[in-house]
A and B are shown apart, each in its own frame.
Chain A
Amino acid sequence: MRFPILLTSVLSAVLLASSPSTAQAPAGGGKVFRYAYRVDPASLDPHALAETFTLSWLGQVYEPLVGRGKNLELVPALATKWEQPEPNVWRFHLRTGVKFADGSPFTADDVVFSLQRVKKDGSDMAYTVASVTEIKKVDDFTVDLVMAKPNPILPVQTTSTYIMSKAWAEKNGATAPASVKAKVENFASNNANGTGPFKIESRQAGVRTILVPNKEWWGEKETNVDQVVFTPIQADTTRVAALLSGEVDMIYPVPQQDAARIDGTGTYQVLKGAELRTMFLNMDQKRDELLNSDVKGKNPFKDRRVRQAIYQAIDVNAIRDRVMGGTSRVAGTMIAPGINGYDAKLDTRIPYDADAAKKLLADAGYPNGFSFGMDCSNDRYVNDERICQAIVGMLARVGLKVTLNAQTRTKFFEKVLARDTSFAMLGWQPLSYDAHSTLQDTMNTPVDKVGTYNVGNYSNHAIDKLTMEIETEIDPAKRSALIAEAMTLDKDDFGHIPVHQAGLAWGVKKGVSVVLRSDDSLELKWVKLD
């Protein structure tokens, strides 16, 4: 839909001179925190859909064994301690005295049940425990996860794998994950019973959800909120208006063009950070003849010089300043800071140089450039279409005639995942916050379950081999070195061209304190109101 974009631009123009009205008093007694996000969680079933926002939102109600702290570091949640008694066994020591929202006690049986549920057909979270072959209850508060081969990052992979109550799921016929494939509704899609810091008091899907603190929660109470009202507000303009009219205390995401205005009010402020998702460009390096190109009988992208020419022809700083309003963070590598395996030494770029690009193209035999098509989404990533338009313009300056095909996400992903593309922009945020996912899903030679999002079919068997080693290397220092080695290979090869991490922006009323975590997850347990 194009009109929300129109709406936003109209709003920015129309509302520039606006001043906020006084806030409305919260209804009822106690401290109420009202916030709005772009969409509603897709389902309340914690194993139904591996989508960043849905999992982040459910993390207020459900908990994993090992959680994430304010800087994404691993912190104890339902497990107080975890260790590897043998290389291929992870042992979790569970917290005692924990209760689910319905009052039933939490034990190892719930963990075994939940992880088995995650592995069932129809679960979208199965990948988080794919390496686990056996789930063993040692005693009431100890669980062993056994793997065929060592998996050093299992705790990292499972920070969004939430634990449900066995008794509750059995009572309500929700022992299998909600799945559209099953063609039936599932009790767990519309009801929740977790151990988390908040519980759902009432919910109208797509309209409003009211949460209250879980009085039985085991953790130390940091928030002073008595009630939370969550509303999805889809249109950017309306979300901003809801904040400025005082109807909500916090909104995210804030459209980039409205950030300065919200900051300028004095009553509201914008918190900024950088996403964990890295945007990058894929070039088809498999076909013998490039699709939709005037070059016949060969594929120019197979030539490293051509890939370097494209890299050097794109001015990422200009994209940051002109397209992203200065909010993006230029990327020199395929993973963002905050992702396990990030190496600042690799996060450097060879400079933008259009003349060097032209020379490289001439050396490769294309002194007059050539033509090809570019695929891009227009409603998936921040400013996606505008970034692609800028890139098309920059490539034109070195003689590359690029035809842009920007379309809605359903059409875009259908096309690029079918490999019907020669040049495409994608973004990747490892759900495990670990570099292994970036390597495996976006850089490995596509085969079976790996390389799904490597839509240019870049293939480097050294990287494939390193990725396999990284998967089982237990020693953290060695593992980091292997990750750096693999990333360097892709970088030197220009296998992919990293662009940037987009900016995160949350609009918050003064007097409301929240923690902006770089995974864009609002943790209600850290919200404080004056």
Chain B
Amino acid sequence: MGFLISRLGQTILVLFVAAFVSFALFRYVGDPVNNMVGQAASLADREAMRQALGLDDPTLLQFGRFVGQAVQGDFGISYRFGQPVAQLLAERFPATLELSIVAMIIATGLGIPLGVWTALHRGSWIAQALLTLSLIGVALPTFLIGIVLILVFSVWLGWLPSFGRGEVVSIGGWTTGLLTWTGIKALILPSITLGVFQLTLIMRLARAEMLEIMRSDFIRFAKARGLRRRTIEYGHALRNTLVPVVTIVGLQFGNVFAFSIIVETVFQWPGLGLLIIQAIQFADVPLLAAYLVLIAFCFAVINLAVDVLYAWIDPRVRAAGMGRSAA
């Protein structure tokens, strides 16, 4: 309990710092006002707009105003869309979360078994081939993978859509594409594109960890005790392999979520990433601020979840009073 409270305090501090740093940076994104008024607006009109929005105030004052409103749950109105920022983020959040989760399921669901398998069958030509392939996955930039997939599966074969989310079903404010055929089809290419890098990373990490564990003393003792090979490999070794892998999966999930921007742009996926690209182009300060705080919050939650999972997988962490924090 004390562990959770101290972590909560840390989380709030992280959010505060993230908001402050983002405000310090907003001076460099340019002047939003010139995008908010048409070309007919005079310089005086623009200055009046700037004053009405408080953009001329010192950074600290603007930051204070933001924090004051944010703690009341008010993130302001987007400069570009004229809608409440909280509402815009809430509308786009499900699309990005769904894409990230499916991508991470693909990445871990294939990455861990493949990593373990290649470790246990090192030297076999299939394992070698998989490792070589994984190098390509690490080396290719995400947008190129996306474009090649669109070229093959949309333009040449015409099997899968090149953009958008298909039909979505709305359940109490949450939208999902998993319940319609077009929605699932639309998910395939973007989630593979987003997951490929993580897949190869997880696979190579799981393999390295597994090899390491298989060389360790307790596995040798287990072998000496004459335990069944399956029990050693999948009972003892795998469980110990998972500890670092879970950390990476957790942190990578944060990355996938926060940096789905490229994939969302390539596939016109109506999630947070696409929204943020526009927010950056239009210097939509309220939207950017809220987004950065949201991302910081997600990372904090993921870190917390990773810590809890640690304790579950590794009893030593539990015994040490859960003092350890994730990387």
Contact = CB atoms under 8 A, between A and B. Distances in A.
Interface of A: 1, 3-4, 6-7, 10-11, 14-15, 18-22, 24, 36, 39, 42-43, 45, 48-51, 124-125, 127-128, 178-181, 183-186, 189-190, 204-208, 231-235, 237-238, 241-242, 244-247, 379, 407-414, 417, 428, 431, 437, 441, 446, 448-450, 452-453
B151 A127 contact: no
A468 to B, nearest CB: 16
Given A42-B81, A178-B82, A206 B147 contact: no
B158 A21 contact: yes
17 contacts: A7-B143, A10-B147, A11-B147, A20-B155, A124-B37, A179-B82, A180-B36, A180-B79, A185-B77, A206-B274, A235-B266, A238-B150, A238-B266, A242-B162, A410-B29, A417-B43, A428-B39
Interface string B266-296: 1110100011011011110000000000000
A50 B83 CA distance: 18
Given A231-B268, A410-B29, A414-B34, A241 B79 contact: no
Contact of A50 (B40, B46, B151): B40
A413 B34 contact: yes
A181 B163 contact: no
Given A14-B148, A124-B37, A410-B35, A245 B162 contact: yes
B81 A124 contact: no
B76 interface: yes
A190 B83 contact: yes
B162 A238 contact: yes
B204 interface: no
B155 A21 contact: yes
A125 B37 CA distance: 9
A189 B82 contact: yes
B169 to A, nearest CB: 13
A235 B270 contact: no
A117 to B, nearest CB: 16
Contacts of B265: 1, 3-4, 234-235, 238
Contact of B281 (A1, A49, A127, A190): A1
Contacts of B165: 207
Contacts of A50: 37-40
A448 B147 contact: no
Contact of B164 (A19, A231, A431, A449): A231
Contact of A208 (B38, B41, B164, B281): B164
Given A10-B147, A235-B266, A431 B158 contact: no
A183 B143 contact: no
Given A18-B156, A125-B38, 16 more contacts: A18-B151, A21-B155, A21-B157, A42-B80, A180-B79, A185-B84, A233-B163, A233-B268, A235-B268, A241-B147, A241-B163, A409-B30, A410-B29, A410-B30, A410-B34, A452-B43
B163 A242 contact: yes
Contacts of A235: 265-266, 268
B42 interface: yes
B42 A448 contact: yes
B155 A453 contact: no
A413 B33 CA distance: 10
A458 B144 CA distance: 47
A506 B221 CA distance: 72
Nearest to A412: B30
Contacts of A189: 82-83
A241 B38 contact: no
A125 B38 CA distance: 8
A241 B53 contact: no
A206 B280 CA distance: 15
Contacts of B84: 185
